[in-house]
């Protein structure tokens, strides 16, 4: 790939592409930040931290301990860690770093920053082999096993000409969700320690397990956290800020058939496998993840298993509107009765469970949290814009616990897939936004 142009023509109006390339070039010149950010990210993605939603323990997998202990050790080893700092690794794999304020900023509010250690089980996260494509030329990126990432399919990639693009080798996901956020938090913290002249208030950095399981911060050490506000580094495209998310429910559907010898089954048998299949077909295809976007919710059958006598389905329900969510939960029972009518003798039990709530209402009540975030992005040279999360973060649950927690971009893309990638300049932008946000909070007054 050709090197970046040394400069851009002054005086003439710059095209959208020129503006982006100028921004990328400027951010890739931030060698100090990159030296703190990139090596960490490449180390972290190679730690196998896939979580398992079928396991109730926290953490659900042992690999998350490996990364948690790595983060704990790196925190303790940071040069310039001030007296009074507290580093805690809890019995359930939460890492908490509490950093005291610089002199004169002790009365500023305590603010938290959070990222999660685990990666999704949707695609393998074992033996991740990160690849760097420096000075990306805008062409299709070829990976292993005849896989490729085509910028024609992903416009965000097409916009990153000149950037350093980080991918896996195509046999696994990359793990930018959320190890990009973990690396950015660590790089931002180190930046303040290396530059003690930069003022900040009291800070908390939190690293959590099992975010991808949807459990909602089980065993979270709420009694240890003093933050009046927090920010999850778990978003995507540069500039995307997220202050509202799905309300999320899941339902365990238990199906009991009626079994008899197949040779004499006429009029007697209710096949639990067939009932499960019939139930899934009742879920509206127009209200599925692959058929909706924006503010439209969905049903998603996530897992099916069983035999003639017993079958189980796990169904996710997502919506931004509580009235619509109530309708979806009620519909699951309607579908159950309809399938039972088709299979006399068979029974279906629906067990719904709330996972997390839309954080919009509580964030609207704390406008300072979002106002400072927007200002921080702008001071970092990023044009911020809000979009709803078609999913959730640990911030959704933390907001319910009383700590308003919006979500911030990290520069990761195509999460939960083998096509996952991250742009280094975007990761630098996210880190710069963090730095500006911390500085802005230092000038606030605790309520």
CATH 3.30.70.360 applies to domain 247-355: yes
What does the mean pLDDT of the chain come to? 94
φ, ψ dihedrals at 404, nearest 5°: -60, 130
| Predicted model pTM | 0.89
- Give pLDDT tens digits for 125-165: 999 999 999 999 999 999 988 899 999 999 999 999 999 99
User: What was the pLDDT predicted at 15?
Assistant: 66
Active site residues: 118, 211
CATH number of 16-244+358-442: 3.40.630.10
**Percentage of the residues of the chain whose pLDDT score is greater than 90:** 91
What does the alpha-carbon distance between residue 170 and residue 430 come to, in Å, rounded to a whole number? 25
Query: How many angstroms separate the CA atoms of 233 and 434, rounded?
Result: 9
* pLDDT at 14 (0 to 100): 56
Using DSSP bridges, classify how beta strands 412-413 and 421-423 pair: parallel, antiparallel or unpaired: antiparallel
Residues 6+ apart with CB under 8 A from 20: 159, 160, 161
The percentage of residues in the chain with a pLDDT greater than 70, rounded to a whole number, is 96
Structure confidence by residue, pLDDT tens digits, 104-118: 999 999 999 999 999
- The angle subtended at Cα 109 by Cα 104 and Cα 112, nearest 5°, is 120
Domain boundaries, the chain: 16-244+358-442, 247-355
Residue 277 has pLDDT above 60, yes or no: yes
Per-residue model confidence as pLDDT tens digits over 51-101: 999 999 999 999 999 999 999 999 999 999 999 999 999 999 999 999 999
């Amino acid at each position: 790939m050709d090197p970046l142009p040394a400069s851009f023509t002054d005086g003439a109006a710059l095209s959208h592409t020129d503006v982006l390339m100028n921004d990328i070039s400027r951010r890739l010149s931030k060698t100090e930040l990159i030296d703190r950010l990139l090596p960490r990210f490449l180390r972290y993605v190679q730690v196998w931290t896939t979580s398992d939603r079928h396991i109730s323990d926290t953490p659900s997998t042992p690999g998350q301990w490996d990364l948690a202990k790595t983060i704990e050790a790196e925190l303790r080893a940071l040069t310039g860690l001030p007296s009074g700092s507290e580093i805690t690794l809890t019995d359930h794999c939460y890492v908490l770093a509490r950093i005291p304020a610089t002199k004169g900023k002790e009365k500023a509010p305590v603010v938290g920053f959070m990222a999660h250690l685990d990666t999704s089980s949707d695609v393998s996260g074992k033996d991740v082999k990160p690849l760097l494509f420096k000075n990306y030329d805008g062409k299709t990126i070829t990976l292993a096993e005849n896989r490729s990432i085509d910028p024609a399919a992903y416009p965000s990639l097409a916009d990153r000409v000149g950037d350093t693009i980080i991918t896996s080798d195509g046999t696994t996901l990359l793990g930018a969700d959320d190890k990009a956020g973990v690396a950015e938090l660590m790089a931002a913290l180190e930046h303040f320690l290396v530059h003690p002249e930069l003022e900040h208030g009291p800070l908390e950095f939190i690293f959590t397990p099992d975010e991808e399981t949807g459990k909602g911060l089980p065993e979270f050490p709420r009694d240890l956290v003093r933050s009046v506000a927090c920010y999850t580094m778990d978003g995507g495209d540069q500039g995307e800020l997220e202050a509202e998310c799905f309300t999320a429910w899941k339902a365990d559907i238990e199906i009991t058939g009626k079994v008899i010898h197949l040779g004499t089954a006429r009029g007697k048998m209710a096949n639990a496998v067939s009932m499960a299949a019939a139930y899934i077909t009742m879920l509206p295809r127009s209200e599925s993840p692959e058929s909706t976007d924006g503010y439209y919710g969905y049903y998603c059958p996530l897992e099916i298993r069983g035999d003639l006598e017993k079958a189980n389905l796990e169904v996710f329900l997502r919506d931004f509107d509580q009235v619509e969510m109530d309708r979806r939960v009620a519909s699951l029972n309607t579908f159950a009765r309809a399938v039972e009518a088709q299979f006399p003798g068979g029974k279906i039990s629906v067990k719904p469970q709330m996972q997390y709530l839309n954080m919009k209402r509580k964030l609207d009540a704390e406008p300072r949290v979002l106002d400072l975030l927007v200002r921080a992005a702008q001071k970092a040279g990023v044009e911020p814009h809000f979009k709803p999360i078609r999913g959730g973060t640990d911030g959704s649950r933390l907001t319910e616990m009383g700590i308003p927690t919006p979500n911030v971009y990290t520069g990761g893309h195509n999460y939960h897939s083998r096509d996952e990638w991250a742009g280094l300049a975007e990761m630098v932008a996210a880190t710069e936004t963090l730095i500006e946000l911390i500085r802005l909070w230092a000038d606030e007054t605790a309520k």
